[in-house]
Amino acid sequence: MEDSNFNQNEPIRDHHLSETPSSSTTPPQKCTRTKEQPNWHLRLGHAANSTLERLFGTDHEVDEEQCEACVLAKTTQSLYPTRVEKTTQKLELIHSDLCGPNPVSIGGSIYFVMFVNDFSRYCWVYTVQRKSAAAILEPFKQFIRDAENKAECKVKTIWTDGGVEYEKETAAYM
């Protein structure tokens, strides 16, 4: 069953939105929405203007700045708070993270914990076999000893990604 009025290259017309029936020879009427008329932007899942134009022609433009859902969808949130102040001495701020799983190392470890000095960007890496707070306690203590001996000053702040591996034993050590 082929529709003789169907033209694949012509946009779909919404016959409920214009008072006069549209045809291929007359331009579409500018749509003014009322309560009874469907809002195609919303009904099609907040479709972009380009999608609406492809489907219905240029008579269905939506001001996306007025659609609260579209405005919220385009908002981005910073993953980490931005730091304005710069560190001025060694070991003032240490960044740390537990990474893995990785391919098995020669020592049999599949994780590593790293510590990066924010001031000098010097990096310490220790391998660990499990991803747990107990597993990183010894490398954590070793880092504190190594860093404070080498820099001849105390570690002031350690900044992590909030992983649970830092919550228990290491928090008690600091």
Give the tens place of pLDDT for each residue, 59-106.
666 666 667 777 777 766 666 666 668 899 999 999 999 998 999 999
- Spell out the domain ranges in the chain: 1-76, 94-173
Give the helix/strand (H/E) hosting 134.
helix 133-151
Contacts 24+ apart (CB under 8 A), 52-59: 53/11, 54/11, 55/11, 55/12, 56/11, 56/12, 56/13, 56/14, 56/28, 57/11, 57/13, 57/28, 58/28, 59/17, 59/18, 59/28, 59/29, 59/30, 59/31
Check: pTM over 0.75? Answer yes or no.
no
What's the pLDDT band for 131 if we cut at 50, 70, 90? Answer: confident
Per CATH, domain 94-173 is 3.90.1150.10: no
Average pLDDT, the chain: 75
- Beta pairing partners, 172: none
* Residue 128 clears pLDDT 60, i.e. is over it: yes
* Residue 20 clears pLDDT 60, i.e. is over it: no
Give the type of residue at 9: N
Strand segments, DSSP code E, in 64-173 are 94-99, 111-117, 123-128, 158-159
Q: How far apart are alpha carbons 13 and 23 in whole angstroms?
A: 9
pLDDT attached to residue 5: 54
What's the pLDDT band for 12 if we cut at 50, 70, 90? Answer: low
pLDDT attached to residue 59: 66
Give Rg (Cα) of the chain: 31
